A and B are shown apart, each in its own frame.
Chain A
Amino acid sequence: MENTLNIALDCAKAQNASKIHRLKMRVGDLSGVVPDALEFAFDVVTRGTIAEGAEFEIERVPVICHCPTCDRDFEPMDWFYECPHCHQLTPHIQSGQEIELTSLEVS
């Protein structure tokens, strides 16, 4: 979370902003990040910074896998990434691992 805040503070500084009002993130379901923990950490690390009290939004990114046999992408039903067409398990992950700072609203 401290990494996220530092990126946000750098961006705000580059825009000569004095306050961060809103911060949006994208968090993949396979990133290992727990949104609740992130929100808690956000409140703690922003204290005393220009991001204190900012609204914090997390957009969850579902896992998308690729089946090399069918050459098709699919959204798995559970943690076993089984292709719904050929029922093979695949280790190929297209998305769902991201932890990204998407945008900031500043003034």
Chain B
Amino acid sequence: MCTNCGCSVVGEVGIHSHSHENGHSHSHENGHHHHHHDTHQTIAVGQAVLAKNDRLAERNRGYFMAKNLLVLNVLSSPGSGKTAFLERMVQDIGSRIPTGIIVGDLETDNDAVRLSNSGAATVQITTGTVCHLESDMVLKAAQQLNLDRLDVLVIENVGNLVCPAAYDLGEDLRVVLLSVTEGEDKPLKYPTMFKSAQVVIISKIDLAEAVEFDREKALENIRKMAPQATIFEVSSRKGQGMTEWYGYLQQHLKKSPVSTIS
């Protein structure tokens, strides 16, 4: 169950790549002995509830660092165009910058199939009823990819702007997408998520006019809510703004240009 919303973890989290499936088992310890005390006793605990995930995220970070990978955690509401954006990115630069993608969804591997068709090495995590990805799921999924051959690892998180904000996955950059169809005030509604972003991408700008998107207002809201974030405005369909994004990615790559030549 998620700390934020109480989503359920009943049932298995599925992780599978298209070439092979890995089984995994969980063990639970049980059985404890009690001694009765008559008086109430207060125990000071002082433990961060997400300490376990945070520790595993640090482990992921070290692991990814050793592999010289640039890792992106891509977040948005459902339907903001994460998959289309990544499809376009892989088609445009995938041959130059080898990219692997871990896709988180509640159900179906439709997004992984789409991305895999665009040429990226893809692993799907189906979380069942869990509304976010956690570090241990990401590690298991990442191990199904040949990370030594990749320069960029993208984690497409479950479509949700609330709970995933609390879960560090060991990424280098948090990329939050916001489509023009969602309205200019989206950043004001989800402060926790936008304040944690290094990059904010306004997507579907080819539709801006049709939905009377107030661009200035949106930019102002993002800058006020997330003064630390770099902003890009893109259309995955028409390709506008994608070049600027690729330039930014290129600057943040961990591998030297020499090692990216295959």
Interface residues of A (CB under 8 A from B): 1-4, 7-8, 11-13, 15-18, 21, 25, 30-34, 37-38, 40-41, 44-45, 79-81, 89-91, 93, 98-107
Residue among B34, B47, B193 making CB contact with A17, cutoff 8 Å: B34
Q: Which 6 A-B pairs have the closest CB atoms?
A: A41-B6, A91-B228, A32-B192, A2-B1, A18-B34, A89-B227
Closest to A4 in B: B49
In whole angstroms, what is the CA distance A95 to B34 when docked?
Answer: 38
Interface residues of B (CB under 8 A from A): 1-6, 9, 32-50, 52-53, 162-163, 165-166, 188, 191-193, 195, 223-228
Residue among A90, A99, A102 making CB contact with B166, cutoff 8 Å: A99
Question: Which secondary structure dominates chain A's binding surface?
Answer: mixed
Q: State whether A106 touches B224 (Cβ < 8 A).
A: no
Closest to B35 in A: A16
Q: State whether A7 touches B32 (Cβ < 8 A).
A: no
In whole angstroms, what is the CA distance A13 to B226 when docked?
Answer: 43
Q: Which residues of B contact A93 (CB under 8 A)?
A: 195
Q: Which residues of A contact B228 (CB under 8 A)?
A: 91
**A99 → B minimal CB distance (Å):** 5
Residue among B38, B45, B50, B227 making CB contact with A8, cutoff 8 Å: B45
Residue among B5, B46, B193, B227 making CB contact with A37, cutoff 8 Å: B5
In whole angstroms, what is the CA distance A99 to B225 when docked?
Answer: 22
Q: Which residues of B contact A37 (CB under 8 A)?
A: 4-6
Closest to A42 in B: B6
A4 and B224 contact, Cβ closer than 8 Å, known pairs A16-B34, A17-B41, A104-B45: no
Closest to B2 in A: A1
Q: State whether B1 touches A1 (Cβ < 8 A).
A: yes
Q: Which residues of A contact B46 (CB under 8 A)?
A: 100-103
A-B contact pairs, 8 of them (CB 8 A): A2-B9, A3-B50, A4-B3, A32-B165, A33-B166, A41-B6, A105-B41, A105-B43
In whole angstroms, what is the CA distance A27 to B165 when docked?
Answer: 15
Closest to A30 in B: B192
In whole angstroms, what is the CA distance A8 to B47 when docked?
Answer: 10
Residue among B40, B49, B227 making CB contact with A101, cutoff 8 Å: B49
Q: Which residues of A contact B39 (CB under 8 A)?
A: 107
Q: Which residues of B contact A98 (CB under 8 A)?
A: 48
Q: State whether B49 touches A3 (Cβ < 8 A).
A: yes
Q: State whether B192 touches A103 (Cβ < 8 A).
A: no
